Structure 1
Amino acid sequence: MAESDPARDYLIYGVEALKHYFNPRSDVYISGNLWLSYEQGVPDAVVCPDVFVVFGVENRPRRSYRVWEENNRIPDWILEVTSRSTHRTDERDKPLLYAQMGVREYFQYDPSGDYLNPPLRGRRLVETEYEILTPEELEGGMLSIPSQVLGLELRVLTDGRLRFFDSVSGEYLRSPEESEQERIQERIRAEQERIRAEQERIRAEQERIRAEQERIRAEREQLRAEDAERELEQLRNLLRERGINPDD
């Protein structure tokens, strides 16, 4: 079980973000905090990785992952979220076990920064042993290690958060919470755009009404002027009929 909120949060992030990323593929299984039995008939031959990815098996729910029931497909990639109670095992025992199993890449991440320096560590299997992957320091102090297995970068951002980065799209894989926040923000932006469009329609309608009112006022003024001119002409005619010069 996750030892702390950060450990749980990154376990969820790792599983859910990778599930979403590999969702179009039916031959990639992603899970975490699940019993993984790697040797048939040996009850103690079990491990419970925080996040793991297996290529070449059916993407379906499982109660546990038994290697011998999966055509002997072991995880290709594993992430352990290191904590106070697990850091020694994660650093000392699991690299030996995972290398022996044939896990192609093994990553560790320490959310607190208390047990790993730097807080992100990667290993890649070369024949039967792991080669340490040194993080690259990016602009702003971010740390990055590319995963050949996933086709993604693992990055520790300047605020200490772990995120997967897709260099093809140039975007970070979002957590479920971040995805929901993005959906909410998108709905807010759409509603704001709808309100702006409605306000623009109202302003245009008000402008049309003002123009129509101005036209009506101008027509009324014109009619009044014409009426006044007719009345004046009628008066002049009346004066002429009475023998009076209207211009005197």
Structure 2
Amino acid sequence: MMREILLDTETTGLETALGHRIIEVCCIELRNHMPTGRHFHAFVDPGRDIDPDAERVHGISRASLIGKPVFADIADALLAFLGDDPIVAHNAPFDFGFLDAEFARLSLPPLSRARMVDTVAIARKKYPGLPASLDALCRRFDIDLSQRTTHNALLDCRLLAQVYVELLGGRQPGLGLVASRSSRAAGLAAPVARTQRLVVVTEAELEAHAAFLARYVKDPFWSSIDHSNGEPAANAG
């Protein structure tokens, strides 16, 4: 099965060139675009202050990060979880840029851009001219945003997992997808099982339908269709 990693980060600010750092990173494992329940999540002590504007967005204070591991402490585990698989992120160049800056400080190579899957780019291609923020896409796909009072990486990943499936065309009926116990335990978006049901129409219902149509339509063209094979009936004029 195809493996992908869905990723989100929170940072001290917007510019790596100004020395801003990662303070939270979350990754969710996907198989065939659906969460498996496996995830990686860590808060990071950036060793610097957080811009007030950034703190207002994600709600993470400098004080709350004192005593958390520094990025060097989580780098190996993060890289092991990422593996060599595609990485899905919303505004992926931002997250890739910050990860590359952290890896560079440790003399590690940058992430290959061939692995990048940017859901903002997908959304703008699918819905040109419409808002492509995560909030806007959640509203478009009727995904619950009630818990998103701030932007934190773990919740954003859970929301993006649902958005990503919808951007790819949604869950297809009849596939028999069932949420795994690990997905439910992790609180991740779970696929919905759907089944197809055959509806049998009785002769009485067919006669009532024909009588109803006769009141409004004279010689409807579909009366000449043999419904057993979809071809015109043999006695059609």
TM-score norm. by structure 2 comes to: 0.27
Bigger fraction of residues in strand: 1
TM-score norm. by structure 1 comes to: 0.26
More contact order relative to length (CA 8 Å, sep ≥ 6)? 2
